[in-house]
Amino acid sequence: MTLTKLQLRSLKVYLGWHTQPPTFWVLARSSLRSWLALAVVAGLGYLVVESAYPEAGWLVIGIMGGAFLRDIGRYRVLLKVWPAHDEVTDWERVKAVIEEQAGTTKNQG
């Protein structure tokens, strides 16, 4: 099985969560760049509000606020369902796949 970089990185994160379960703040810290981008776009929306098109500006600000709240909601759900995922995941298999992938990467390099 060949994993993409995203898949491998996700497995490593989940394995880390197996030993140190995620907290809201850990999840929030992982989104700082995205939230900064949302804030910048919302700021641009504010400039539009102050210029000639207030409705368009408020629309942009609302969309950015909604995206932020969507992230918060997803984190809340993840924190509630993580114990079930942790319980049913075969962590030995996850470790084996990560090690197998690391061996494949070394052989290719």
DSSP per-residue letters across 50-63: HTT-HHHHHHHHHH
Closest CA to 45 of 26, 55, 58, 30: 58
- Tokens describing residue 90: 């075969």
In order along its 109 residues, the chain shows pLDDT tens digits of 789 999 999 999 999 999 999 999 999 999 999 999 999 999 999 999 999 899 999 999 999 999 999 999 999 999 999 999 999 999 999 999 999 988 766 656 5
pTM: 0.80
